[in-house]
Amino acid sequence: METRSTTLLVIGGGPGGYVAAIRAGQLGIATTLVEGDRLGGTCLNVGCIPSKALIHAAGEFEQARAYAQESPLGIHVASPRIELAQTVRWKDGIVARLAGGVAGLLKKSGVQVVGGWARIIDGKTVEVTTGAGQDALRIVCEHMLLAPGSQVVALPAMPFGGKVISSTEALAPKALPKRLVVVGAGYIGLELGTAYRKLGAEVTVVEALDRVLPAYDDELTAPVAASLRRLGVRLHLGCTVQGLNASGDAVRIRDAQGEESALPADQVLVAVGRWPRTAGWGMEGLMLNMNDRAVRIDDQCRTSMRNVWAVGDLTGEPMLAHRAMAQGEMVAEIIAGRRRHFMPSAIPAVCFTDPELVVVGRTPPEAKQAGLDCISAMFPFAANGRAMTLESGDGFVRVVARRDNHAIVGWQAVGQSVSELSAAFSHSIEMGERLEDAAGAIHAHPTLGEAMQEAALRALGRPLHVARA
């Protein structure tokens, strides 16, 4: 068996692993990255990027269909149609371009990329199976970075297969199901459920808890719930899934009162969460300290074993690509001798529903729970000129700040295109902004961002574009 040695061995070429490898290569560290599937990982191939492409295409199609009815803008189009195979090809083209970009960047940084599945032998050695009929390769390293990501959670009562699909299959539809039942009203269920509805499927969402996007507060999710109803998405909240019926054409559910019913389904998308990928590749043998299902790390992404590091979904919530990338970049710098700690003031979370939802820092209930005495204020997009010109008066920007010194601890927004406000929200909190700073900075007019300034003004008791309470 061929044996190679390297300073840093990265297992997994998703956003956590490939960013670590690029930075390490830039810093002159001999780096090898092993990827069993496709460079870019879940995010690029079957996650963030393809889902946002499909969501965009579905939104455009829905807009065209709306113009075919009646448009206040005076736009008229003949009855539009969508050729799904072409939509999927377009989405695949974006993924391929980005994946090619990642491969190019790794090469330019001098990273050795090995295609194959890594199996851990010990904290310094892996064996890689590179393909049928090919010899295994042994790689010995000084530092090992674990970045294998996460895997989808299956429902025991309704395992994947046949008409029961995960987000991966939902992102590459061969045809549109007439009736789609979505299990789970979290990120994936609502992002993809909404997209399928806009593409023309009848969509029914089943959620175990009593609200959609239960991780967020009522005020924030109310516009999303209202929009789902407007779009004609049926919601069954507080319901548990019992499995498919005997003929396999309906999902049996039970509500909080114990009443059972059946939801006809041509396809079922199960989106009830993801778990860190901890088993099946020898990681168990390292006997690392765990945090429930995730690998426990410190604020430098060190595991309990010397020179074994872990980043991304393997390390648990929040399972977001930008967190994985930030961790990966930091680990490379620490290995290169720099002093770094992972202590972000806030990690933004964006849900690409319609309307979009952004949460950065603490929400009012979270601030209260943390024992902080806070004030909060929101500015509605109904009073924002730019939102009106975009036909999107739904939603608001909300700010949360400490009552004593006005330090901003949270920004949230729900509304069209608010994902793009997440950068300003993150900067604000990371830079320790106070309400007076946000209120005093000149915001370009007319933009959605003006709602940030107005929310801060309102929190200070001196709003300009809504009446004082």
Q: What residues line the site for ligand NAD (CB under 6 A)?
A: 155, 183-189, 191, 206-209, 214, 240-241, 271-274, 318-320, 350-352
Q: Does 380 bind ligand FAD (CB under 6 A)?
A: no
- List the structure tokens of 44: 């690029």
| CB-nearer residue toward ligand FAD: 413 or 435 | 413
Task: Name the one residue in this structure whose structure tokens are 């072409």.
Answer: 86
Cβ 102 to ligand FAD shortest distance, Å = 11
DSSP string, 300-328: T-B-SSTTEEE-GGGG-SS--HHHHHHHH
Helix ranges restricted to H, 354-449: 364-369, 385-389, 422-430, 435-440
- List the structure tokens of 142: 């000084």
Q: Which of ligand NAD, ligand FAD, none has residue 189 at its interface (CB below 5 to 8 Å by kind)?
A: ligand NAD
CB of 204 closer than 8 Å to CB of 262: no
Compute how many other C-beta atoms are within 10 angstroms of the C-beta atom of residue 385: 14
406 catalytic? Reply is no
How do the residues of the chain divide into helix, strand and coil, expressed in percent and rounded to 5?
35, 25, 40
Rg (CA), the chain: 24
Task: Name the one residue in this structure whose structure tokens are 């830079």.
Answer: 431
Q: Does 34 bind ligand FAD (CB under 6 A)?
A: yes
Cβ 445 to ligand NAD shortest distance, Å = 29
| CB-nearer residue toward ligand FAD: 355 or 364 | 355
Q: Of the listed pieces 35-43, 137-145, 155-163, 373-381, which binds ligand FAD according to CB under 6 A?
A: 35-43
Amino acid identity at 53: A
| CB-nearer residue toward ligand NAD: 62 or 356 | 356
CB of 348 closer than 8 Å to CB of 322: yes
Report 36-95 residues binding ligand FAD (CB under 6 A).
Answer: 36-37, 41-43, 47-48, 51
Phi-psi group of 341: left, alpha or beta (phi > 0 → left; psi -120 to 50 → alpha; rest → beta): beta
Compute how many other C-beta atoms are within 10 angstroms of the C-beta atom of residue 333: 18
Q: Of the listed pieces 34-42, 62-70, 193-201, 378-386, which binds ligand FAD according to CB under 6 A?
A: 34-42
Q: Of the listed pieces 97-105, 146-154, 379-387, 390-398, which binds ligand FAD according to CB under 6 A?
A: 146-154
| CB-nearer residue toward ligand FAD: 188 or 235 | 188
Cβ 186 to ligand NAD shortest distance, Å = 2
Q: Which of ligand FAD, ligand NAD, none has residue 14 at its interface (CB below 5 to 8 Å by kind)?
A: ligand FAD
| CB-nearer residue toward ligand NAD: 209 or 336 | 209
* CA pair distance 176, 335, nearest whole angstrom: 48
Cβ 441 to ligand NAD shortest distance, Å = 28
Taken in order 29, 34, 38, 43, the sign of the CA dihedral is negative
Cβ 17 to ligand FAD shortest distance, Å = 5
Q: Which residues bind ligand FAD (CB under 6 A)?
A: 11-17, 34-37, 41-43, 47-48, 51, 117-118, 147-150, 167, 188, 277, 281, 312-313, 319-322, 324, 352
Catalytic residues: 445
